[in-house]
């Protein structure tokens, strides 16, 4: 898969460099242009609608970067590492072919290794409808994750004021644990978006897009050590409440040496309304409706589908931009809600006279009912902007999230209600001296939360026989990580140098430290160090 992505990347780069550029009167680049500013200050570039690329006012802008991150500390979630590193490379490019057509591309590779990792077996347990959790802390070990990510998009004007665009986002991941019980994950995530935008009048523009997404994460469990040792896992339907299964060659969630896929399909429709309230006031709005369906297992007459899930997601995003001379002030806000339900299938196997195994499904029970609310708001000031590069960048942001879930294993149930909120602020200063630029960033944040860890009950207290199992120590670790009060400070320094050909080289250092006020089940501190070198052109 890495070779395939590499070949596609080479092809795209060759095509990009061989395309003749139409000569039109354009802004003359200086080399100090900031890709981050161009991307972050344009709300269309945060939309799924690639038709919005037409709003970019610069001909072409690119950067290529290599980075290294080191993290360590005991203030970590139940599935995270207390000693990890990540390295990778990232290339992004905006390229205007002519006055009507513009392209966007992104190629990224990252490699992660972490020690003392256990808990969740999925790559990201917060995006899956259920989890498979290692039962014992003694099985924690090294894990590695490789991600290959490729994005391509373009926008073109078909008629005056009418633009169409498409975007293809393709990601593959390989994830592995190197201590029994071992697991090997392979993920494929494909997103295709088709969109259009039309300038109805000088005062407002409307856009619409359709998005299709397919995600598959396959897991294979293996054991290379003592074959007499037994490995148990919790099928966690939520709040670490579910069934206990044993690793074996028999058919189950963790069947040995068999790839079992978590398959998901997403379909979404988005509407964008961009208002020009005055020459200095812009108001961007986007409403998105998403539908998500999927299952764990393999569909077929002789294979088992263990669970099936469905979800509805509504999201609104707003962005108010105020322009004043060389300053740009941006107020952004976002709200989303997801309603997720997960069901477990009951089944039996039968063997036909020819030896073929047939699966018969008898019933389906709702295991999880989850509602997730997410709110965020922020203010960003770009001051003294010249040549697409601000002198000052000031940011203030806040988030508030709520998650309510009910897990039902008849006749019992478990409920959880978690709130988390955070505030942060940062200031960046860019100092230009001849062919050199010095950039310093200071940031501060605070995170806290609350709610209840778990509330157990019974639908019918007279009924006996539930086989439910709970891993309470993980409940307490996760709840404390999500809700304990903590402060985070970070400092960043970047040195940039302008070379002949208007090529900007840079090196950046970033350090962040997080400290929790009081913890019982996890540690109090976490350190993050990041180094990067790159070129902008």
Q: Where are the beta strands (DSSP E) in 160-226?
A: 162-177, 182-201, 204-222
Specify the DSSP class assigned to residue 22. P
Domain spans of the chain, in order of start: 29-390+476-483
- SS3 label, residue 53: helix
Cα dist from 387 to 432, 490, 495, 496, whole Å: 12, 27, 18, 15
Q: Report DSSP letters for 36-67, one per residue.
A: HHHHHT-GGGGSS-GGGGGG--SSEEEEEEEE
For residue range 465-476, what is the model confidence (pLDDT) as tens digits? 677 999 999 999
Name the residue among 299, 293, 274 with its Cα closest to residue 284. Answer: 274
- Measured at the CA of 471, the angle between CA 467 and CA 472, to 5 degrees, comes to 120
Name the residue among 49, 16, 26, 32 with its Cα closest to residue 317. Answer: 49
Name the residue among 389, 276, 286, 285 with its Cα closest to residue 322. Answer: 276
- Measured at the CA of 465, the angle between CA 463 and CA 468, to 5 degrees, comes to 115
Specify the DSSP class assigned to residue 20. P
Specify the DSSP class assigned to residue 275. E
pLDDT the model gives residue 10? 39
C-alpha atoms less than 13 angstroms from C-alpha of 274 in its C-beta half-sphere: 21
Residue 200 reports pLDDT greater than 90: yes
Decide if 533 contacts 510 (C-beta within 8 A). Answer: no
For residue range 477-527, what is the model confidence (pLDDT) as tens digits? 999 999 999 999 999 999 999 999 999 999 999 999 999 999 999 999 999
What does the alpha-carbon distance between residue 80 and residue 120 come to, in Å, rounded to a whole number?
9
- SS3 label, residue 68: strand
Mean of pLDDT values over 59-80: 97
Residue 16 reports pLDDT greater than 90: no
Q: Report DSSP letters for 380-433, one per residue.
A: EEEES-BTTB-SEEEEEEEEEEEEEEEEEETTEEEEEEEEEEEEEEEEEEEEEE
Mean pLDDT of the residues in the chain: 93
pLDDT the model gives residue 227? 67
Tokens of 310: 């469905």
Tokens of 154: 């373009």
What does the alpha-carbon distance between residue 483 and residue 492 come to, in Å, rounded to a whole number?
27
C-alpha atoms less than 13 angstroms from C-alpha of 420 in its C-beta half-sphere: 17
Cα dist from 170 to 14, 214, 356, whole Å: 19, 10, 37
Name the residue among 233, 325, 321, 239 with its Cα closest to residue 285. Answer: 321
Cis before 181? omega within 30: yes
pLDDT band at 226 (very low <50, low <70, confident <90, very high): low
What does the alpha-carbon distance between residue 103 and residue 521 come to, in Å, rounded to a whole number?
49
pLDDT the model gives residue 2? 44
For residue range 310-355, what is the model confidence (pLDDT) as tens digits? 999 999 999 999 999 899 999 999 999 999 999 999 999 888 888 8
For residue range 99-154, what is the model confidence (pLDDT) as tens digits? 999 999 999 999 999 999 999 999 999 999 999 999 899 999 999 999 999 999 99
Cis before 204? omega within 30: no
* Residue 291, strand partner residues: 267, 312
pLDDT the model gives residue 510? 98
- pLDDT over 90 percentage in the chain: 87
Distance of CA 181 to the CA centre of its chain: 27
What does the alpha-carbon distance between residue 174 and residue 185 come to, in Å, rounded to a whole number?
6
Residue 7 reports pLDDT greater than 80: no
């Amino acid at each position: 898969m890495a070779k395939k992505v590499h070949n596609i990347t080479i092809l795209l780069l060759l095509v990009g460099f061989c395309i003749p550029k139409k000569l039109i009167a354009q802004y003359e680049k200086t080399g100090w242009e900031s890709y981050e500013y161009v991307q972050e200050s344009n709300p269309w570039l945060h939309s799924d609608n690639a038709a919005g690329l037409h709003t970019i006012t610069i001909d072409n802008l690119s950067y290529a970067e290599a980075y290294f991150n080191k993290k360590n500390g005991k203030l970590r979630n139940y599935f995270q590492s207390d000693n990890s590193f990540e390295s990778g490379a990232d290339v992004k490019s905006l390229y205007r072919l002519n006055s009507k057509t513009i392209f966007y591309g992104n190629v990224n590779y990252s490699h992660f290794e972490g020690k003392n990792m256990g808990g969740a077996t999925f790559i990201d347990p917060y995006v899956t409808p259920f989890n498979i959790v290692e039962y014992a802390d003694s099985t924690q070990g090294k894990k590695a994750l490789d991600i290959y990510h490729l994005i391509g998009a373009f926008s073109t004007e078909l008629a005056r004021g009418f633009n169409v665009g498409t975007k293809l986002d393709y990601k593959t991941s390989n994830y592995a644990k190197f201590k029994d019980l071992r697991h090997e994950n392979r993920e494929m995530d494909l997103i295709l978006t088709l969109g259009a935008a039309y300038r109805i009048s000088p005062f407002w523009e409307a856009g619409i897009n359709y998005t299709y997404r397919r995600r598959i994460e396959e897991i294979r469990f293996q054991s290379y050590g003592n074959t007499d040792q037994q490995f148990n896992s919790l099928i966690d339907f939520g709040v670490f409440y579910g069934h206990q299964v044993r690793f074996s060659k028999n058919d189950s969630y963790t069947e040995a040496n068999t790839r079992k896929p978590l398959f998901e399909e997403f379909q979404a429709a988005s509407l964008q309304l961009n208002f020009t309230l005055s020459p200095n006031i812009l108001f961007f709005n986007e409403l998105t409706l998403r539908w998500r369906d999927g299952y764990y297992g393999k569909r077929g007459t002789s294979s088992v589908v263990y669970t099936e899930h469905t979800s509805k997601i509504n999201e609104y995003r707003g962005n108010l931009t105020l322009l004043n001379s060389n300053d740009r002030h941006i107020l952004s806000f976002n709200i989303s809600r997801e309603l997720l339900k997960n069901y477990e299938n009951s089944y039996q196997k039968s063997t036909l006279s020819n030896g073929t195994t047939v699966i018969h499904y008898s019933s389906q029970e709702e295991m999880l009912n989850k509602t997730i609310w997410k709110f965020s708001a922020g203010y960003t000031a770009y001051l003294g902007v010249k040549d697409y590069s601000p002198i000052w960048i000031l940011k203030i942001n806040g988030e508030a999230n709520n998650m309510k879930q009910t897990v039902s294993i008849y006749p019992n149930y478990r409920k959880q209600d978690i709130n988390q909120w955070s505030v942060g602020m940062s200031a960046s200063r860019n100092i230009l001296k001849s062919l050199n630029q010095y950039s310093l960033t200071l940031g501060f944040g605070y995170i806290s939360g609350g709610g209840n860890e778990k509330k157990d009950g019974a639908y019918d207290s007279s009924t006996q026989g539930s086989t439910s199992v709970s891993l309470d120590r993980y409940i307490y670790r996760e709840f404390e990580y999500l809700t304990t009060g903590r402060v985070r400070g970070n400092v960043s320094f970047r040195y940039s140098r302008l070379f002949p050909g208007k090529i900007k080289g840079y090196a950046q250092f970033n350090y962040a430290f997080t400290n929790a006020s009081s913890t019982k089940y996890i540690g109090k501190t976490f350190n993050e160090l990041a180094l990067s070198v790159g070129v902008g052109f």
